[in-house]
Amino acid sequence: MIRRRDFVARLAGAGALALAPRSARAAVWPARPIGVVVPYPPGGSTDITARIVGERLSVALGQPLVIDNRSGAGGNLGMEVVARAAPDGYTLGIATTAHAINMTLFRKLNYDTLKSFAPVALLTENPLVLVVPEAAPWRDVRALIAAAKEKPGAFNYASSGVGQSTHLAAELFAAMAGIKLTHIPYRGSAPAITDVIAGRVDLMFDTTQSVLSHVEGGRVRALGITSAERLPRANDIPTIREAALPDYVAIAWNGLMAPRGTPSDTVRRLNAEIVRALQEPGIVAKFEALGATTRPLSTEGFGAYIADEIAKWGSVVKQSGATLD
């Protein structure tokens, strides 16, 4: 039986909690599982990234992170779900390079990558690799550029689809090199790289996760990588910057977002835990094995990163003439 004195004390405590500032009551977050929307199918690079980081965050936060794959419309369907979700810290989403590109590529979107979300943290950067058939005559990037200048429009390139990073990385390359290439879009990376291997297509920019095994197996030849620095897993592949175009960088990235209006203390705690995780040797090693690198940024730094990516790829989309409904 509760004595009257104890009852009064408990009642007073409950009243103090009810009158406490919202920020104090929010400190109990997370009190239940957190959903993470991945706007692509299971098994892809974005899904793998989400699961690696999600497993580590589950331990740090004391609550499971539940992956929810919502693919479709170039990654738009999943991010629409996040944009409409309650800003309470229990629904997060993985944004990618596509969500910077889509701001210009699509005539109409049901979200705004800058205005609909609170940037949480950049997770990984995944460069692309410029590859050609093993039997191709070009041994380096300069030789390819020289050949393309001699025969404008004669050489074609494959991509995993209109508006994808594999498409626009090639468009950016062509513009900066002053050459004209013919685009052949495919429905996905697998059929595209298959035709490159067979010699039916002259070249392709493909993600490291998709193409490095083919490079290492001698099925295609890598001429350059699109990152600012060489990749630890493939240190023998020069960057396109050092090989021919000093200002060329094209990265496929993954980052964590929350609905706009999510409490700032929740966003900052998520960022702090992710930044800590991305510096752990075990996490770094997992991503390096996949051909990706980690780059811890503050929430503000990630927001500026996204804005820069939208501006950069917006210019490339307009120059390419690509558009989708």
Could you tell me the pTM of the whole model?
A: 0.85
DSSP letter at 114 equals T
pLDDT confidence of 21, banded at 50, 70, 90? low
Is residue 13 over pLDDT 50? no
Report the mean per-residue pLDDT for the chain: 91
Mean pLDDT of 180-199: 94
Instruction: Give every CB contact of residue 122 below 8 A, 6+ residues apart in sequence.
Output: 253, 254, 255, 295, 296, 297, 301, 302, 305
* CA 115 to each of CA 100, 175, 313: distance values in angstroms, whole numbers, following the listed order: 12, 30, 18
| Domains contained in the chain, CATH given | 34-125+252-320 (3.40.190.150), 127-243 (3.40.190.10)
Is residue 20 over pLDDT 60? no
Is residue 19 over pLDDT 70? no
Helix (H) or strand (E) holding 132: strand 117-133
Mean pLDDT of 178-189: 93
Question: Distance between CA atoms of 54 and 179, rounded to whole angstroms?
Answer: 42
- Read off the pLDDT of residues 71-94 as tens digits, 9 standing for 90 and up: 888 899 999 999 999 999 999 999
Residue 208 φ/ψ, nearest 5 degrees: -60, -40
Is residue 125 over pLDDT 90? yes
- Read off the pLDDT of residues 232-291 as tens digits, 9 standing for 90 and up: 889 999 999 999 999 999 999 999 999 999 999 999 999 999 999 999 999 999 999 988
Q: Any idea of the CA torsion for 163, 257, 280, 44, to the nearest 10 degrees?
A: -40
> Residue 102, exposed/middle/buried by CB under 10 A (0-12, 13-18, 19+)?
buried
Percent of the chain whose predicted confidence (pLDDT) is above 90: 80
Flag the least confident range among 41-50, 211-220, 232-241, 293-302: 41-50
DSSP letter at 324 equals B
Question: Distance between CA atoms of 139 and 132, rounded to whole angstroms?
Answer: 9
Is residue 321 over pLDDT 60? yes
pLDDT confidence of 43, banded at 50, 70, 90? confident
Contact 45, 290 (CB under 8 A): yes
